[in-house]
Chains A and B, each alone.
Chain A
Amino acid sequence: MQEATFLILTALADGSQHGYGIITEVTQISDGRVRLRAGTLYTALDRLRADGLVAVDGEEVVEGRLRRYYRLTPEGTKVLAAEAARLQANAAAALARLRPGLAGGLA
């Protein structure tokens, strides 16, 4: 899974968001390191919807602009959880090898 995809799913993990909301959430989650561009976001959303990981959760018009909300599907939640566990296991393994004495504390 690409990092942008992982961060988009993470942004949706605790509730539905509209496009602009996802972009700001991703910036926040990644500590300002990943700034999603709209084109990238919508390509990813298009694919995530086709794969059944994300679904549309209603829309509204704010100040004349259309906002569509997205949420994780149960399948999306499952995939994100599996990916997060995988990354965590990898990170733990890396830390354990870097500092054998401190691995428990850091992980």
Chain B
Amino acid sequence: MSEMTALERGYRRILACYPRSFLRENADELLAVLLDTAAEGQTRVGLAEAWDLVRSGVRMRLWPAAPRPRAVRAAVTLMLAGAAAELAALITVAVSFWAVRAAAARYPATMDAVLVHQVAVLAGAPLAIGLWLWLAWANGKGEDWARMLSAACFGLLTLSVLAALAQHAEADAPATMIAAAAVWAIGLASVILIFTPAACRYYGPRLAQQ
């Protein structure tokens, strides 16, 4: 019996990964299933089952189950793609940093402008990645503020692209502008998706249910 309680204590500790609202309703039941599936004489939680519980609990915390409309799921996927695009830009600039410095040195007049651009990407991309991931997470949960913040961020993104175009960046740095246009398109598509009628029903009223 004391064996059983040691195992049970182990399971209970790991169950803390789950959201409290889930545990309130399901902890006893889940614990019963865990004890039912435990091997004869098992006293400690196995690595594989601990991993399964941690993963499931964390997933449930990040994305509580609620019928998510397809539009919202697509928007979340696009936002993750946005984060991936920023990561690609970050890696490209980081890897080519010295090569670009050397190339710019041949045109001394451009040295400063190029350095500013490189530093801006290196410093800004991690922030942008974090923002994309955060918005993907919050939109997936149906947080209404995330929808508004996404729209606001997209507005800023549009302004920055327009500002770059006004400086004729497409002629000076075509690759950068293509990357910016791709990110802008991802932003546009995701913002349209989260404001579709099906998505609008998902934001808001669901919070009252929880």
| Beta-carbon contact of B33 and A41 below 8 Å | yes
> Looking at chain B, what size class is its interface with the partner chain?
20 to 34
Tell me how far the C-beta of B176 lies from the nearest C-beta in chain A, rounded to whole angstroms: 40
Q: Contacts A20-B37, A39-B49 given: A65-B32 contact, CB under 8 Å?
A: yes
Contacts of B55 in A (CB 8 A): 39
Bound complex: CA A42 to CA B54 (Å):
12
Most chain A CB neighbours (cut-off 10 Å) among B26, B32, B56:
B32
**Residue B65 interfacial (CB < 8 Å):** yes
| Beta-carbon contact of B30 and A19 below 8 Å | yes
Contacts of B54 in A (CB 8 A): 39
Q: Which of A34-73 contact B (CB under 8 A)?
A: 37-43, 46-47, 49-52, 59, 65-68
Nearest residue (CB) in B for A68 is: B29
Tell me how far the C-beta of B23 lies from the nearest C-beta in chain A, rounded to whole angstroms: 11
Tell me how far the C-beta of B16 lies from the nearest C-beta in chain A, rounded to whole angstroms: 13
> Looking at chain A, what size class is its interface with the partner chain?
20 to 34
Q: Contacts A50-B66, A66-B28, A67-B29 given: A38-B60 contact, CB under 8 Å?
A: no
Tell me how far the C-beta of A40 lies from the nearest C-beta in chain B, rounded to whole angstroms: 6
Bound complex: CA A49 to CA B60 (Å):
13
Tell me how far the C-beta of B126 lies from the nearest C-beta in chain A, rounded to whole angstroms: 31
Bound complex: CA A67 to CA B29 (Å):
6
| Beta-carbon contact of B35 and A65 below 8 Å | yes
Kindly list 13 other residue pairs between chains A and B, CB separation below 8 angstroms, not including A42-B56, A66-B28: A23-B33, A37-B37, A38-B52, A39-B49, A39-B53, A39-B54, A46-B22, A49-B65, A50-B66, A51-B65, A51-B67, A59-B29, A65-B28
